[in-house]
Amino acid sequence: MEIKKQIKSLLNEASLYEVQGLYDESKGRYVDAIHVIQQHADEIDHHKEVMSHISNKLKQVIQKIERMENESVTYQMPNIVLDVMKNNFSSSRDKDQAALEGALALAGFGQYESALEEFTKLLKPESTRLEASKNILFCHLAKGRASKAADLFIYWRNSGLMGSDQMVELRNYFQKLSDEAGLNLEIPGAEVKKSAAGHPAAASSLLKSRQIDEFRSLSVKLPKDNQKHRLREFDIHSQSGDIVNLLVSNHEKELAEGLKKGTVLDAVQCFSANAMFSGKATVIDNIEIVSGVMAGHFSIDIKIHGI
């Protein structure tokens, strides 16, 4: 196997293990990749930059392992109990509203992490977006994560998640929560201030001051010549900054080939654990994996613009 293909295969496996929560296995693959690069540094272009990137990914995995080892165990109701709670406390005939009622029940019983997962899903439908965002802020404040709540508010505002009227209402709600909890947070304005160049004034400083969220899934409006699958949601295989990687099965070869390098995707939505970003994207790479456990699948890199 060529050195570059061997490294890419190791990195794909590391990312796959990481997504599945198998952090020890992921750590091992990153370490193996680093060893291969060290042994063949003279054969790899910009090997120092590649090493730096992989080392950063390795550090992130190690930090996740350490957090799992040191994190105190909090009581979490069994899934079957959570499902009963969601179903018994939702009466609406509308599917999204019923899901919102169920999520509110979870939050009411102090199951904030489970509630956050449900509220995040409800950022997708416009009918539940405002209430879901309010309750995401509430859950983070209830867990003592005021800085996370503030970051999310700025993120939603800058991404255009909601209209100006809804953002004003969300800001007022956030301010009320802060005041009632005695946090004295300085909640930023509901609208993005424009600089002389016409760009959000705080955009560059925001990107420098916070990490880009790790997205879990990507909803894509596919090119017009791919009418069979116009709107698709993909699980994200791995992410490096504003570039996400998708793995498309060899059973969907036609779909994968429609995402050619250079294709501009005018409407994409990225979903993280607690947020949603809407914008444009460009396919920057599309290769067929020729070896390893994922042979025959397509590895597609997409650059998300504006995050």
Domain ranges of the chain: 3-70, 79-180, 215-304
Of 207, 178, 202, 183, nearest to 191 (Cα)? 202
Antiparallel, parallel or unpaired: β 215-221 and 264-272:
antiparallel
- Rounded (10°) angle between helices 164-180 and 126-142: 20
By the 10 Å C-beta count (0-12 exposed, 13-18 middle, 19+ buried), 131 is classed as middle
Average pLDDT, the chain: 77
Q: For residue 132, what pLDDT is reported?
A: 93
Side by side, the strands of the sheet bearing 238-240 are 231-235, 215-221, 264-272, 276-288, 298-304, 243-248, 238-240
Q: Are 302 and 148 in contact (CB under 8 A)?
A: no
Overall fold of domain 79-180:
1.25.40
Residue 129 has φ and ψ, to the nearest 5°, of -60, -45
Per-residue pLDDT of 35-76, as tens digits, reads 888 888 888 877 788 888 888 888 888 887 776 665 444 445
Residue 288 has φ and ψ, to the nearest 5°, of -90, 125
The pLDDT > 90 percentage for the chain reads 7
Low-confidence ranges of the chain (pLDDT < 50): 1, 71-75, 77, 81, 193-211, 226-229
What gap in Å lies between CA 6 and CA 292, rounded to an integer?
9
* Tokens 């060529």 belong to residue: 2
Strands (E), 163-263: 215-221, 231-235, 238-240, 243-248
Equal fold, 79-180 vs 215-304:
no
Q: For residue 223, what pLDDT is reported?
A: 66
Q: For residue 247, what pLDDT is reported?
A: 87
What gap in Å lies between CA 264 and CA 282, rounded to an integer?
5
Q: For residue 178, what pLDDT is reported?
A: 85
| pTM for this prediction | 0.44
First to last CA, the chain: 36
Number of helices (H) and strands (E) in the chain: give both, helices first. Answer: 11, 7
Of 301, 304, 294, 303, nearest to 12 (Cα)? 294
Q: For residue 87, what pLDDT is reported?
A: 60
Which of the four CATH numbers 1.20.58, 3.40.50, 3.30.450, 2.60.40 does domain 3-70 have? 1.20.58
CATH class of the domain whose range is 215-304: mainly beta
| Dihedral sign, Cα of residue 145, residue 149, residue 154, residue 160 | positive
Q: For residue 131, what pLDDT is reported?
A: 94
- How far, in Å, are 38, 133, 181, 246, 306 from residue 237 at the CA level? 26, 26, 39, 5, 21
CB atoms within 10 A of CB 270: 27
CA dihedral of 258, 264, 265, 271, whole degrees rounded to 10: 110
Q: Is 284 helix (H, G, I), strand (E, B) or coil?
A: strand
